[in-house]
A and B are shown apart, each in its own frame.
Chain A
Amino acid sequence: MTWILSLPILLPFITAAATLMLRNRKGAGWISVLGSAASLLAALALLGAVLREGVVATQMSGWPAPYGITLVSDYLSAAMVLITAIIALAVSVWAMAEVGQTSSRYGWHTLFQTLIGGVTGAFLTGDLFNLYVWFEVLLISSFGLLVVGGRRQAIDGAVKYVTLNLIATVLFLCAAGLLYGATGTLNMADLRQAVAAHPDQGLMTLIAMMLMIGFGMKAAVFPLFFWLPASYHTPHYAVSALFAGLLTKVGVYALMRMFTLIFVNDQGFTHEILLWVACLTMLTGVLGAAAQSDFRKILSFHIVSQIGYMVLGLALMTPLALMGAVFYLVHHIIVKANLFLIAGIAQRLTGSSDLYRIGGLYRSAPLLAVLFLIPAFSLAGFPPLSGFWAKFVLVKATLEPGMWLVAFIALLTGLLTIFSMTKIWAEAFWKPHPAGRQPSLALLSPRARRLLLGPVIALAAMTVLIGVWPAPFADFATTAAEQLLNPVAYLDAVFNVAGPAAPPVAPEAI
């Protein structure tokens, strides 16, 4: 079990070391692709083990829980690890055509792989402090990726991204420390019992709120999302796609873990806040997008609005809603990364990402137009694409307890999403290029064409696949939601991995 859980984390770091040593050679990009492919295989092996056994867990160095550091994977973690590996492979191939020798020399591929390692570690750890360390790993890598190869705008974006993310990190650290002081444990499975048994529930709710703000900032929910649209449109397109697909979703994952596993004793308060945060996030994100005219900035605001849907699923805490949230996570990561990659190709062909300065893509690059329509319609929730099922389930989940207003906001957000996508379509694809340029795919070299279009086609195919054949994905998400709502298997797996569980040690006894 140990290897199956630790390989998806180890492989990116091994690849990072290899790319660091070969950063001056031409082959660094290929090493990164190869390492990502190996990680994908490891993620598939993990998924296979989870499908067989339900939840798999291991203790690092054999120290029993709750003393050692636990690596644990339930359905949700395994799905997130797999989707991370898929995005890593797609983006590393795509990046070969964008990331030049200069960025490679500054360690672009190394930072890329450590970011993937950090994200995977955050999905697999079962220890709160270890989660903090993984957050730091992915955070420092993302700082580097933002500024490497930096245009002047990237520095401006990075200042806002770095400073606001650091505040969130400090809050998270403080909450983790206080939680340890109050309960004497950092193991997430152990914390579930310790938090429930703590005499001062008000203090527990206070710590829960600190974690909610910390992770909410990372997930870019209302009103803590300002760093995201200020920075995501500035770095390399490959970096934007990677961040858009994965980073905010780590925050969402952490929120889901905290508020299904540990802080479930005051749901009338915490989950009510999450509910209204979700609604406001959906609305502000989509309204912010309507005001923008830059390809990537519109997409950035849409990340914010889509995060709202996932938090909504968490806030409702019903099996159907959580299933919708899990489904939405997987669908959204594929679609969003793909849209940013397409924006990158569009920028290549037309020379800008400002929608008023580009155009003509439909006439001269019809293939790209079709490839754009698939994720764009999926994002807005058109049947039969993946986004339709995700939205359908979530809206159904809001209607079951009769939350008409929430359902209305979710549907309205979908409608306004179509408005933004139509805007991109009309400006970038439909109208002729204002400078009379013919932005055809033939402008790219054959090599660049293969590298740029291959990942986009593969991700679009996945969106269509989930859309026309949703049953196995929905079944998977249903099981994941059951495990989240009733984490007996999770607790069993953590405590029984290396002998019987030792009782938690109260801080007074130390």
Chain B
Amino acid sequence: MITISAILAGLLVTCAVWLMLSANLLRFIFGLLLLSNGVNLAIFAAGRLTPGAAPLLGAGGALPEAAMANALPQALLLTAIVIGFGLFAFVLALTMKAYRVFGHLDADRMRLAEPEKDKA
């Protein structure tokens, strides 16, 4: 299971890098999304995928007899997913705004903030 997750994470990062090398802003941010999901998967796998009981204590705080699953990586992941989602929403809105301002999404031609004489 860990091997599959690791390979999948690597695959996602590969696709992400390929997308992010594009000059098109929309492809770039989709790459960013894949990258953050690839990393999430890597963290998930790094936290050990233990097939155990749910990490709940019994009555009076008694430990369950079988091995418990580690809840912490999942808590980290949930946080990271929520934050990633918020950031992605912002980046999408920013991309839309950029499209309205520039009329295109070609990162190579976004030079509005650069000095005049450098403009291509």
Contact = CB atoms under 8 A, between A and B. Distances in A.
Interface of A: 129, 132-133, 136, 139-140, 143-144, 147, 150, 152-160, 162-163, 166-167, 169-170, 173-174, 176-178, 180-182, 230-231, 233-234, 292-294, 297, 507, 510
A242 B26 CA distance: 30
List 10 A-B pairs, minimum CB-CB distance, nearest first.
A181-B46, A177-B43, A156-B112, A156-B113, A153-B113, A174-B39, A510-B70, A157-B113, A136-B83, A155-B101
A294 B46 contact: no
Interface string B85-120: 011001100110110011000010011111100000
A178 B46 contact: yes
A140 B32 contact: no
Contacts of B76: 129, 176-177, 180
A176 B45 CA distance: 13
Contact of B48 (A150, A170, A507): A507
B79 interface: yes
A162 B48 contact: no
A163 B32 contact: yes
Interface residues on B, range: 35 or more
A301 to B, nearest CB: 12
Nearest to A508: B48
A162 B91 contact: yes
B97 A170 contact: no
B47 interface: yes
Contacts of B70: 507, 510
Interface of B: 20, 25, 28-29, 32, 35-36, 39, 42-43, 45-48, 50, 68, 70, 72-73, 76, 79-80, 83, 86-87, 90-91, 94-95, 97-98, 101-102, 107, 110-115
A293 B39 CA distance: 41
B90 A162 contact: yes
A156 B43 contact: no
Contacts of A162: 90-91, 94
B94 A155 contact: yes
A113 B90 CA distance: 19
A297 B58 CA distance: 61
Nearest to B95: A159
Nearest to B79: A133
A143 B88 CA distance: 12
A159 B94 contact: yes
Contact of A174 (B42, B97, B107): B42
A453 B46 CA distance: 53
Given A181-B48, A234-B113, A510-B48, A166 B87 contact: yes
Instruction: Give the one of A153, A170, A292 with max B CB within 10 A.
Output: A170
